[in-house]
Amino acid sequence: MSPPPPPNIVTEAADAADAGQEGEVTSKAPDSPTTSLKNHHHPHRVFKVYVTGFGSFEGIPVNASYLVASSLPSVLPEKYIHHAPESVKSQHLQVSIIPHFEAVPVSYEKVTKLIPTLYEDLPGVDLFVHIGVMPFEYYRIEERARKGYYGPPEGNPNGRGDVDGKYPEGNEAGGAARGKVPKEVTEIVSGLDVEGICRDLENAKKESTDDFEVPRVSTDAGLYLCEFIYYNSLAESIYDDEAKYESEYPEPRPVTDPTAETPLSSRAVFIHVPSNMTDDWLERSKETVKRIIGAIAVQRLSP
């Protein structure tokens, strides 16, 4: 039996966010409105974030990426967005976060089926955050995702099968966006200013005693499930007409641009965190991801 579609995000915690507290995010059926702000004394600009992390795979019985994704606050405290310009602060920005209801299987086939479901059922989400692990003690924000080659080692020295021992059809992400990506598109890049995000976090670290790290900019997500889910997510946000984006607020800049020399989208991002499972590293990873999400929300909403 297939799992139920993910719930839409309904926020009922704007006042808690104003106080710098972690509020509560509830859910309603997919045909419900994605926000409910009727009872608040002033309007909030709600920036809705949906987060995924992966499940177990070779050598990783418990995946730190899902532990991080599933433990983020439902409402990001104000300190993570305090650097926003007045044009954003005046909107009483609230960043609402909801995790995927389970760890994403490290399976090419299941990721290909999952991503269209997320975008179709969650048209009001402003940002999809995908998290994966790497065997290094630093953090990365990925700037691009490639269609392939995801095949066996004879074509890709680092190529390996998924948890089922399988590779995607044609050894590439050709099924992304239900196969609607033009054949000439071999990679999609982030429309976010990733270097700017890292600079913002570098400045924040100088002023904070919190335990987080400034991420690095990366253009190589590894050509495994991390890059595969990222390519599928970026492609879905650009090319699938069924995946509507129904933001309730005007965006200061386009979220996607399929006409760019290399197509781009800022509706999805991929973050690599260390696979280290100690308590200290998990807390550091959660804090770092919260910082990244806050910086992206501010950047997306700044004119």
pLDDT in tens, 191-211: 999 999 999 999 999 999 999
CA dist 26 and 9 (Å) reads 7
CA dist 179 and 12 (Å) reads 37
Residues forming beta bridges with residue 35, ordered by sequence position: none
Model pLDDT for residues 153-168, shown as the tens digit of each residue: 998 888 999 999 999 9
Cis check: omega of the bond before 231, within 30 degrees of 0: no
Residue 65 neighbours by CB distance under 10 Å: 28
Name the H helices within the chain.
Answer: 14-18, 64-69, 86-89, 108-121, 194-207, 225-239, 279-301
Cβ pair 238, 188 in contact under 8 A? yes
For residue 117, what pLDDT is reported? 97
What residue ranges define each of the domains in the chain, with the CATH number in brackets?
49-66+100-301 (3.40.630.20)
Terminal C-alpha separation, the chain:
45
Instruction: Say if residue 20's pLDDT is above 50.
Output: no
Strands 268-274 and 94-99: unpaired
Cβ pair 199, 213 in contact under 8 A? no
If one compares 33 and 170, the residue with the highest pLDDT of the two is 170
- HSE value, Cβ hemisphere, 13 Å, CA-based, for 179: 3
If one compares 9 and 44, the residue with the highest pLDDT of the two is 44
Tokens of 108: 């090419």
What are residue 46's phi and psi, to 5 degrees?
-95, 120
For residue 42, what pLDDT is reported? 54
**Mean pLDDT for all residues in the chain:** 88
Strands 144-146 and 187-190: antiparallel
Tokens of 64: 């730190």
| CA distances in angstroms from 86 to 20, 91, 276, 301, listed in the order given | 17, 9, 38, 11
CA dist 206 and 94 (Å) reads 24
Model pLDDT for residues 262-281, shown as the tens digit of each residue: 999 999 999 999 999 999 99
Q: What is the DSSP string of 123-182?
A: TT-SEEEEEEEESSSS-EEE-EEE-B----TTT-TT----TTS---GGGBTTTGGGGTS-
Instruction: Say if residue 36's pLDDT is above 90.
Output: no
Name residue 24's amino acid.
Answer: E
CA dist 300 and 303 (Å) reads 8
Average pLDDT over residues 221-240: 97
Instruction: Say if residue 10's pLDDT is above 60.
Output: no
**What predicted TM-score, i.e. pTM, was given to this entire model?**
0.87
Tokens of 33: 């409105």
Instruction: Say if residue 257's pLDDT is above 60.
Output: yes
Binned at pLDDT 50, 70 and 90, residue 33 comes out as very low
